[in-house]
Amino acid sequence: MEISQRAQNMPSSPIRRLAPYADAAKRNGIKVYHLNIGQPDIKTPQCGLDALHSIDRKILEYSPSDGYLSLRMKMVSYYAQYGIYLSPDEIIITSGGSEAVLFAFLACLSPGDEIIVTDPFYANYMAFAISVGAVIKSVKTSIEDGFRLPSVEAFEEQITPRTKAILICNPNTPTGYLYTRAEMNRLRDIVRRHDLFLFSDEVYREFIYTGMPYISAFHLSGIENNVILFDSVSKRYSECGIRIGCLCTKNKQVHDAVMKFCQARLSPPLIGQIVAEASIGVDKAYMQGVYEEYLDRRNFLIDGLNRIPGVYSPIPMGAFYTVAKLPVDDAEKFCIWCLSEFQYEGATVMMAPASGFYTEPGEGRHEVRIAYVLNKEDLAKALVCLAKALEAYPGRLK
């Protein structure tokens, strides 16, 4: 007996696949600084925790397949703060942002249809594309110019009769890049000219570190019916584990198609919705404090990385990730070596090899994605470990 071809083609997560090495290091008493995964160490809002602790129900029932109306109404008010005007029936609550992506792919893409992404991209997009039989095609960005959006011509070179969508993440993971108004307008023009869907992952909108305004796909005039937005409370409120996200669309046909898949999985998490609804009411001081903490961490980390001989990281303008270029023969080998053969004063560092965020083998070979989700004291120790590891690594490039 064999597993499916789909399962054979499914890539392992570059974020989690080195976990066995980290687990082994911990069993050997080594402290591992996790820079590989976007799991914030910031406390969840107290209003969300209070809602969790005060749950007093005799039955933990199914919710509606599109989520509780009260939660969707709260999200309407939340989005209005950002100039995104939706009605509750244009919002579908999902089991995390990941399910929103999967359901959009299932509703909009047939086997063999193509999605254009910017390379590097969030690795799970590839997994979801494989799940539905779609094909990822990429336009290349470069660490040398800070991963800025490629030209219109670069996008249009990838468009074929099977192209159905462009997918962006703004602000971006893994790079931290933030699209400008001019770049978003270029995307709008391509989408409108070729009648494509624009899938827009906007999970990190709270974390923008420039004076530029936040530009949502829903701010682009003339393509309102083409836009499908993905969102999540995971990073915003440090609530990754409650698995609450959403899909937003003004396209009634897409909405109704997504609802069929929502009904098939019955309902999004009940308890997660209760916590998320309470958290949307968090005071502005909490969000401002979180923002300032990430900005401080970003500045500290990028300065520290670029002080290490041979290391280069552009300054990310959003989210809480950066891609750094290392002077090593192979970043994945280096990351494994850090976990399996290296320690400095009883500690080591775990990063995500960036090759797993690219479409073509060999790309990103000298790069890692780093999440600055640790406090500055731990970031400082992680930077020391990284510098010492690079000094000792036998595959260091001159």
The pLDDT tens digits of the residues spanning 149-191 come to 999 999 999 999 999 999 999 999 999 999 999 999 999 999 9
Determine the average pLDDT of the residues in 5-34. Answer: 91
R_g of the chain, CA atoms, integer Å:
21
pLDDT category at 398 given cuts 50, 70, 90 is: confident
Round to whole Å and give the CA distance between 223 and 202: 17
- Beta-carbon neighbour count of residue 39 at 10 Å? 15
Map out the domains of the chain with their CATH numbers.
5-43+285-392 (3.90.1150.10), 46-279 (3.40.640.10)
Round to whole Å and give the CA distance between 92 and 71: 10
Tokens 């687990």 sit on residue: 23
The secondary structure of residue 240, as a DSSP letter, is G
For residue 311, which of 380, 372, 385, 366 has the smallest C-alpha distance?
366
pLDDT at position 10 is: 85
Query: What single letter denotes the amino acid at residue 95?
Result: S
Instruction: Give buried/exposed letters for 334-361 (b at 16+ CB in 10 A, else e).
Output: bbebbbeebbbeebbbbbbbbbbbbeee
209-224 pLDDT per residue, tens: 998 889 999 999 999 9
Q: Model's pTM, two decimal places? A: 0.95
Q: What tokens does 38 get?
A: 């976007």
- Beta-carbon neighbour count of residue 363 at 10 Å? 16
pLDDT at position 281 is: 87
Q: Which residues contact 381 (CB under 8 A, 6 or more apart)?
A: 33, 347
Query: What single letter denotes the amino acid at residue 181?
Result: R
CA dihedral 241, 324, 357, 344 (to 10 degrees): -60
Q: What tokens does 329 get?
A: 């023969």
Give, in order, the Cα–Cα distances in Å from 27 to each of 30, 236, 274, 378, 397. 7, 32, 37, 20, 31
Name 352's bridge partners. 369
Q: What tokens does 25 get?
A: 């290091």
Over 90: is that where the pLDDT of 247 sits? Answer: yes
Angle formed by the axes of helices 19-27 and 331-340, nearest 10°: 20
142-151 pLDDT per residue, tens: 999 999 999 9
Give, in order, the Cα–Cα distances in Å from 180 to each of 149, 159, 197, 314, 348. 9, 23, 20, 17, 37
CB-based burial of residue 8 (10 Å sphere; 0-12 exposed, 13-18 middle, 19+ buried)?
Answer: exposed
191-213 pLDDT per residue, tens: 999 999 999 999 999 999 998 88
CB-based burial of residue 288 (10 Å sphere; 0-12 exposed, 13-18 middle, 19+ buried)?
Answer: exposed
Q: Which residues contact 10 (CB under 8 A, 6 or more apart)?
A: 127, 130, 131
Quickly count helices (H) and strands (E) in the chain.
Answer: 13, 12
Determine the average pLDDT of the residues in 228-242. Answer: 97
Name 245's bridge partners. 94, 232
Tell me the percentage of the chain whose pLDDT exceeds 70: 100
C-alpha of 267 from chain center: 23
**Phi/psi zone of residue 146: left (φ > 0), alpha (ψ -120 to 50 degrees), beta?**
left
Q: What tokens does 187 get?
A: 């995307």
Determine the average pLDDT of the residues in 228-256. Answer: 97
Over 80: is that where the pLDDT of 61 sits? Answer: yes
Cis peptide before 150 (omega within 30 of 0): no
Q: Which residues contact 395 (CB under 8 A, 6 or more apart)?
A: 328, 329, 330, 333, 334, 337
| Coil, helix or strand at residue 245 | strand
